[in-house]
Amino acid sequence: MAHVAKWKYKEVEEVAEILRKYPVVGVASIFKIPAPQLQSIRSELKEHLLIRVVKNNLIRLALEKAAADKKGIEKLEDLIDGPTAIVASDLNPFQLYRIVMQKKSPAPAKAGDIAPHDIVVKEGPTSFKPGPIVGDFQRAGIPAAIDKGKIVIRKTTTVAKKGDKISHELALALSKLEIYPFEVGLDIKGLWEDGILFTPDALSVDIDKLRADVATAASSAMNLAINIGYLTPETVPILLSKAHMEALAVALYAAVPEKEVIAVLLSRAHGQMLALASLAPDVLDEELKSLMGEVSMSASEAEAPEEVEEKKEEEEAPSEEEALSGLGALFG
């Protein structure tokens, strides 16, 4: 039996303890991350994120050891591929994933890299003056030309499709044009919390869209509950107010002499009485005639100010001759 170094036992136990201690743990690829950038990520996220770089076989052993306390955590083993780090946090998986993604930075393409997506060079002028670089661009498949003393890209061109191998010429041309198709940073492969394994496709949600969808769903649920009369702590006040308004409407329509509507009913009856009286003024008694006179006078007074204002406007408006003489004074 081969001898196993003591430091490996210690390393496995330390990693297993990290996996047990934190509520959210996972594995992340550190492929092609320069050491200074990894150190920077560690420093910037140290309050919420622990990063532990360990050999893959030791990570697997630690996951198996921690699985006795955390069911399903061993599923993270299937996501280990290439240089890998253990990540652990007190944030929920979605917050952690979003923060880690925000720390990624653009990186240039290198010869032999595989295009992560379609790489497009847009038409338009560049900052380069005419020279041999035109040929460099053309050899890379970029339609470059000289126009008005500058190198221009004649038309928008897809220089590499997703999955294509990037040539040496194209890598150099993209760098000169400051087109960086790659991102460098921690690449979360999976996060575990409470027995659930979250993969990037589940974690990469649009927070603003999700928030809007939840608000729309809540509004629709409230409308449905109110329309069907479903009682909840949120709908009861609205339903009571709605029922009260409907009861008042029925009471007014049916002329029910109830204290909340009696004033409106009396006012309506009074108006109807006056309207009826105006149809047969000759048969009215003195009291009704007096009352009708007061109503008529009130209506006249309400109309009078408008007539006065119209007269004022007519008086104040200058005649055409006055207006012309005024213009003559202005221009001599």
Q: What is the per-residue pLDDT across 6-51, written as a single tens digit (0 to 9) for each?
A: 899 999 999 999 999 999 999 999 988 888 888 988 999 988 899 9
Distance CA 62, CA 46 (A): 22
Strand partners, 49: 89
pLDDT tens across 203-231, in order?
Answer: 988 778 888 999 999 999 999 999 999 99
Delineate the domains of the chain, giving CATH numbers in brackets: 6-104+185-205 (3.30.70.1730), 119-181 (3.90.105.20)
Name the average pLDDT for the chain. Answer: 86
pLDDT tens across 125-157, in order?
Answer: 999 999 999 999 999 999 999 998 899 999 999
Distance CA 170, CA 142 (A): 9
Sequence-distant (≥ 6) Cβ neighbours of residue 153 within 8 angstroms: 121, 122, 123, 124, 125, 126, 137, 142, 143, 144
Place of tokens 């992560």: 116
DSSP structural state of residue 95: H
Element (H, E) at 11: helix 6-21
In terms of average pLDDT, the best of 45-54, 246-255, 258-267 is 45-54
Tokens of 15: 């990693």
pLDDT tens across 81-115, in order?
Answer: 999 999 999 999 999 999 999 888 898 999 999 99
Higher pLDDT, 278 or 138: 138
Place of tokens 């108006």: 271
Q: What is the pTM of this model?
A: 0.58
Contact indicator for 210, 98 with CB cutoff of 8 Å:
no
Query: So what's the pLDDT on residue 86?
Result: 96
Contact indicator for 24, 203 with CB cutoff of 8 Å:
no
> Distance between the two ends of the chain, CA-based, in angstroms?
120
